[in-house]
Amino acid sequence: MKFFSAKAVSLPLVAVAALLASGVQEAAAVTLFDLLFGDGQRRERRLRVTPRPPAHRQNAPRQRAPRRATAAPKITGPAYYNYRADALKPLDFAPLAPIAQSASLEEASGGTPFRDAIAGLEGFELFAEADAGKAIIAHYTEHPDFIWVAGDDLSERARQAVRVLGEAGSHGLPPADYSVTIPASNRGGTDPASRRRELIRFEMEMSARVLRYASDALRGRIDPNRISGYHDFPAKPFDMAAALNAAAAAPDVDDWLESHHPSSEEYRALRVELEALNASPENDIVVDPKLLLKPGETNPELSKILHLIARGLDDEMGGEHGETLARLVSSETYAEELVPVVKAAQSRAGLKPDGVIGPRTVAALAGTSKAERVDKIVVALEQLRWLPSELGGTRVFINQPAFTARFIEGGEEKLNMRVVVGKPSNQTSFFYDEIEQVDYNPYWGVPQSILVNEMLPRLRRDPGYLDRAGYEVTDSRGRRISSSSIAWGAYGARIPYSVRQTPSEANALGELKILFPNKHAIYMHDTPQKELFERDSRAFSHGCVRLADPRGMAAAVLGTTLEHIEAKLEQGHSSEKATRRIPVYVAYFTAWPDGNGRVEYFADIYERDARLMLAFEKTEAARAPSS
């Protein structure tokens, strides 16, 4: 069978407009989905595509019409949760009491400093994470000796650890979460019992905070899967008892602590950016990042934008728009004569010159405020802790807020392309997986959510339109069923049929898809809607990732050539397995370094940064009793 390339034939918007204007449409409302994937009879005439004929009716049991149609159902996507931080638990030092009792029995032989000091824990209240508390008691029961105390003072190991904990802010971690009460030097001659009490309490607090720091550095302060159903990350195991044993044995505990942080180049670049931000002044002109201003509207933020444009005038733009800016630079009303000025500034910034002053225009002209950039860096550093410490020399990295997909091989960026991701009502999830295969001229298995939410209302009015539009319907036993034979009004959110669109130039997936099987049914694919890649903001899909250069990405992940991909497409529907392990990160970073290590900032299209910041606040509040 010969299949057409999705690049060869597209569905022009002019044709869509002509159809709407011609009056051929029925009176019923027609959605964009119908225009692109439904209304098969008109598409067949226009594109001359003959869909696969439906199965014979005698193989399909006729559905008995219900007495009354059910209400139109809806399938909802994942939800955002009310984040709950782990509550701290007071440490129960009672299991250490036998150590103190054995100390009194050993007084004749001198005892040990640690055993002598255990009594100083009486009445001491220390809060810590439950697993940290268990690890501390287990360690000191088995190893009744100091880790952080030497003689009558702090050990060198303790001084190294205190220095690292105090520099937590350089990693985007709040130093207050790891603060400890450090005993003063004993030069004043504190009585021995009081000194032992200070040191044993410092010992326990130090162990609790070191364990917290190591855990936070390795797997983050926040459990991402508690934020929403869109976050999907495997648990990162961390053995607290083994960690405390390792800290006690490490010759350089500062290096040991630092080793828990991500080791990727991206993490290092973000830390450098955070240091630079902390040393820099705030922007002298700060514009509301959520500004949306159209011609004819009034807003005091306009004068800030005009001043920024005036500040950056070159000879060419100044000659054309300088006089207008000079007269109206302090205006708060967006007059029509200012529209060409704004459009020129947008073009120079690489944006679509639509004359609307929105968040992307503000970001391009005013930049992001220092405070907002710091927040984005802190969020990005935390999110990197949810991923593997080393991302891999060869990988696919999709950054949803940037609307880009990159292919990195041997640590070098080989591809960087525009993508379309899920719209806010159909968000793309945040997870990572592994490339498995490429499907050429693919079938599109219609997800139940689309079948129920978007197709079912049409099917209740027009049961046969799937037959006409090139879709196949099968029952639970895999038998082909004619769409027109099904009483669609009998079903709600659970439809016992599978629907798939056959390969063609009109297929929603275009000419190929790249799979990394996951529970979210998200993959990368081609699309007939090429015009969407020209937009600055590209959140339009149902959750999957549409690629501007699908052939290039397919060749990259398969380690082959474009000629090979073209030849496979000419052969019709087929699949090809990846022969090497390539991780794919379907990521969400509003601050991320480019191929040269320069950090770029992006809009928080799904408002996930704000939810993570709220989780930070709740975690810090839960840890407050430890102070």
**Closest among 428, 377, 383 to 591, alpha carbons compared:** 377
Q: What does the pLDDT read at residue 126? A: 96
Residue 386 pLDDT greater than 80, yes or no: yes
Between the CA atoms of 379, 385, 388 and 393, what dihedral angle is there, to the nearest 10 degrees?
Answer: 50
Residue 58 pLDDT greater than 70, yes or no: no
The lowest-confidence range among 41-50, 87-96, 381-390, 526-535 is 41-50
Length of the chain: 627
Percent of the chain with pLDDT over 70: 85
Tokens of 509: 């997936």
From the CA atom positions of the chain, what is the Rg in Å?
31
> What are the b/e assignments for 142-167, b being 16+ CB within 10 Å?
eebebbbbeeeebbebbebbbebbee
Contact 426, 543 (CB under 8 A): yes
Q: What does the pLDDT read at residue 504? A: 86
The lowest-confidence range among 12-26, 124-138, 340-354, 610-624 is 12-26
CA distance 277 to 156: 32
The lowest-confidence range among 130-134, 225-229, 307-311, 610-614 is 307-311
**Predicted confidence (pLDDT) per residue in 240-249, tens digit:** 999 999 999 9
Q: Which residues pair with 415 in a beta bridge?
A: 407
Give residue for tokens 């509207």.
297
Contact 114, 146 (CB under 8 A): yes
**Predicted confidence (pLDDT) per residue in 78-117, tens digit:** 999 999 999 999 999 999 988 876 654 444 444 588 998 9
Q: Which residues pair with 575 in a beta bridge?
A: 439
**Closest among 324, 367, 368, 327 to 343, alpha carbons compared:** 324
Residue 411 pLDDT greater than 70, yes or no: yes
**Separation of CA 545 from chain center:** 13
Please compute the mean of the pLDDT values over residues 538-554 and round it to a whole number: 96
Collapsed DSSP state (helix, strand, coil) of residue 66: coil
What would the DSSP string read from start to end of 322-354? HHHHHHHTT--B--GGGHHHHHHHHHHTTS---
Number of other CB atoms surrounding residue 4 within 10 Å: 18
What would the DSSP string read from start to end of 286-311? ---TT--B-TT-B-THHHHHHHHHHH
**Closest among 186, 185, 166, 184 to 176, alpha carbons compared:** 166
The mean pLDDT of the chain is 86
CA distance 486 to 209: 63
Q: Which pTM value belongs to this model? A: 0.80
More confident residue, 482 or 61: 482
Please compute the mean of the pLDDT values over residues 515-532 and round it to a whole number: 94
CA distance 286 to 519: 42
**Closest among 402, 434, 393, 374 to 584, alpha carbons compared:** 434
CA distance 595 to 132: 39
Q: Where are the alpha helices (DSSP H) in 480-531?
A: none
Reported confidence tier of residue 3, pLDDT bands at 50, 70, 90: very low
**Separation of CA 65 from chain center:** 45
Domain ranges of the chain: 31-74+447-501, 91-227+236-262, 301-368
CA distance 93 to 141: 10
Cα four-point dihedral sign 336, 337, 341, 344: positive
Tokens of 429: 């999830």
